[in-house]
Amino acid sequence: MTDLEKLKKICQLVRRDILTATTMAGSGHPTSCFSAVELMVALFFGGPPAGEFFRYDLNHPQSIFNDRIIFSKGHAAPLLYALYHAAGALSDQEILTLRQFNSNLEGHPTPNFKYVDVATGSLGQGLSIGVGMAIGIKKRLDKLQFDDKKISDTSALRLLDKLEKLSGEENLKKTFEREPKVFVLLGDSEVAEGQVWEAMEIASYYRLDNLVAILDVNRLGQRGETMLGWDLDSYAKRSKAFGWEAIIVENGHDLAQISHAYRQATSNQQPANKQPVMIIAKTVKGKGVKLFENKDDWHGKTVPKEKLNRVLEEIGKVDLKIKGKINKLPINFQFSSINLQSNPNRQLNKQNDFTLHVTSYKSHDKIATREAYGDALVELGKINPDLVVLDAETANSTYSKKFRDAYPSRFFEMFIAEQNMVSCALGMSKLGYIPFLSSFAAFLTRAFDQIRIAQYSRPNIKIVGSHAGVSIGADGPTQMGLEDLAMARSVLDSTVFYPSDSISTAKLVQLAAKEPGLFYLRLTREKTPIIYSLTDKFTIGGSKIIFESSNDLATIFTAGITVHEAIKACRQLKEEGVNTAVIDLYSIKPIDKKTINVMAKKTKNIIVVEDHYPYGGLGEAVKSALSEDVVNFIHLCVNKLPRSGSSQDLLRFENINAQAIKTAVKNII
């Protein structure tokens, strides 16, 4: 049996699995899978030699030496599972559990399936994630050094649990004549998403010659023909215009043509000028089944059970014993199980003597929290070389420029493309990096879908939104992040911080870096006084009592910029004989329910002050935490459409300044 004959038999098995699994599930996208069967079978198992293109160690899915595969067209998940069944990694019984509640074979890929790095399904995001992974792989491999026939770790590979002696240095050199690649399967419908082109321009900018995109041009979308149909030349011209090498496959079901394209894309000679590669293949949706081949209105529809046997006959007799082989990179040494996500922050966790640049700040200084963010990044960068920073061309405003200047090789300019930035950061985190990504809070809301999807990928990303609230002043309402807390809080397992001074900012940045997960930090443009000391401790779910007495008549809960307005109001009220407590709820999610309820029980009068719209912010967080039934509650927030003006103009206009707080206290008592 020739290699091509074997691949054809594997294609038959894969098509059978897709049909059987989707029909049993009663849902799925078999036609979208069928157009890419040959493309993916040739990638996974093709050659000669067999297994030449996609290199992967099934026993160590997180190995740095693996190629990566991302199904950006995530609805083709049954094809992905069928490939691993053909490789012997899934049993005959498992492949039939598609979309069942207790199965890891979900309708769109998620990391619950151990060979999947990231969740996909919201179209247009997979290529950006691939960009982040390609950058991460290059950075990891750049750190490999030869030292007496061993690999010495220059910090970036310390996450590997163990690297045994090599049988010979030349074998390792031969291995890395072909560095690990990131392959991304794209659908032609999804390239209408602007994020795809954001990813393409940044991949070209960073010369990611280890990134290969496979565009499945099957012409039919969900409701009809795509924008370009089968116009392969236009796809190629656009790809080249964005700095990619374009390889056209006229027949995306011809295994020989496909293999030739992969050989070009994975050789050292192509592309010669370090370009990413776009393979553009003309395919037929539903290829191989007359019932739905190249027919509209079959997207997301499965073959009825009563027609399944007749449709399976079209595929021909399937060799149920045939298996494809996925080869790993030929590295002649052994290493123990690798999981780049298990504890990516181990060095930070060992540090108990975190020294901040803010030690030079004086108590009378006014420092913007955004500037303290930059200082904290620089100090953390000294401790952990896996900390990286991405910014959307706002580094001189978010002060991430301080990190850029200190560690230029770990700073990534993502330009004005926030959606791509979030997905790239997710991809980098999957290589064990700790990405902080920053922009103005207002602009990060356009990347909410990317943040939403990231939550299903076991993320370790730190999102930082500066210039939040009306307090930014003269730039005007379009620049004011007033919905960002609602966005960040709505993500199920997110952690949301809103510091009020430079020291709390630095401490919370450190905390975000140490703890895995998806974090959002909200920062302020205006300079604010220092109210904390370096000995103060900050915790996830904690708060700080700034003022409290035995005869407080009301409690003011606040965070960020309005903490300072509350302090002013509290001092002025005290001069008038009215005592109030002021609580800094710097951890907005999770929130300090215990302190909220203790103070509610004590004073019965609650005032929440925030520089955010009323919906989804601090006020609603406090209200949902209250267990007391009888509490007087006033919520001061941004209730009017703002306009340009000074910071104090805007705080006064929205009734969230010190005078408005004083009035609210007097009214509530």
Task: Report pLDDT digits (tens) over 283-327.
Answer: 999 999 999 999 999 999 999 999 999 999 999 999 999 999 998
Does residue 454 sit in the same domain as residue 562? no
The one catalytic residue among 38, 52, 190, 418: 418
pLDDT at 357: 52
Does residue 453 sit in the same domain as residue 424? yes
Does residue 465 sit in the same domain as residue 612? no
Does residue 424 sit in the same domain as residue 514? yes
Given 466, 494, 529, the domain boundary residue is: 529
Residues of the chain with pLDDT under 70: 143-177, 268-272, 330-360, 362-364
Is 327 part of a structural domain of the chain? no
pLDDT at 338: 34
Distance CA 238, CA 192 (A): 12
Annotated catalytic, 418?
yes
End-to-end CA distance of the chain: 88
Q: Write the secondary structure of 195-248 as one string of H (helix), E (strand) and C (coil).
A: HHHHHHHHHHHCCCCCEEEEEEECCECCCCECCCCCCHHHHHHHHHHCCCEEEE
Does residue 269 sit in the same domain as residue 358? no
Task: Write the pLDDT tens digit of every residue in 396-420.
Answer: 999 999 999 999 999 999 999 999 9
For residue 4, count other CB atoms closer than 10 A to its CB.
Answer: 16
Pair type for strands 68-71 and 150-153 = unpaired
Is 85 part of a structural domain of the chain? yes
Is 175 part of a structural domain of the chain? yes
Parent domain of 485? 346-529
Using alpha carbons, select from 64, 80, 84 the residue that is nearest to residue 72: 80
Q: Contact, 175 vs 66, CB < 8 A?
A: no
How many domains, the chain?
3
Does residue 519 sit in the same domain as residue 549? no
pLDDT at 172: 47
Task: Please tell me whether residue 298 adopts helix, strand or coil conformation.
Answer: coil
Q: Contact, 635 vs 626, CB < 8 A?
A: no
Q: Which two tokens stand for residue 93?
A: 């019984």
Is 179 part of a structural domain of the chain? yes
Given 505, 529, 553, the domain boundary residue is: 529
Q: Which stretch of DSSP H or E encloses residue 527?
A: strand 527-529
Does residue 571 sit in the same domain as residue 444? no
pLDDT at 48: 76
pLDDT at 269: 55
Q: What DSSP string describes 540-592?
A: TT--EEEE--TT-SEEEEE-THHHHHHHHHHHHHHHTT--EEEEE--EEES--
Kindly report the CATH number assigned to the domain that includes residue 115.
Answer: 3.40.50.970
Does residue 620 sit in the same domain as residue 524? no
Does residue 212 sit in the same domain as residue 273? yes
Does residue 399 sit in the same domain as residue 371? yes
What is the model's pTM? 0.93
Is 447 part of a structural domain of the chain? yes
pLDDT at 593: 98
Is 185 part of a structural domain of the chain? yes
Does residue 302 sit in the same domain as residue 206? yes
pLDDT at 142: 75
Using alpha carbons, select from 125, 75, 77, 119 the residue that is nearest to residue 299: 75
Is 341 part of a structural domain of the chain? no
pLDDT at 331: 56
Q: Contact, 247 vs 261, CB < 8 A?
A: yes
83 Cβ neighbours under 8 A, 6+ residues apart: 14, 40, 41, 44, 324
Does residue 237 sit in the same domain as residue 383? no
Given 499, 529, 559, the domain boundary residue is: 529
Is 435 part of a structural domain of the chain? yes
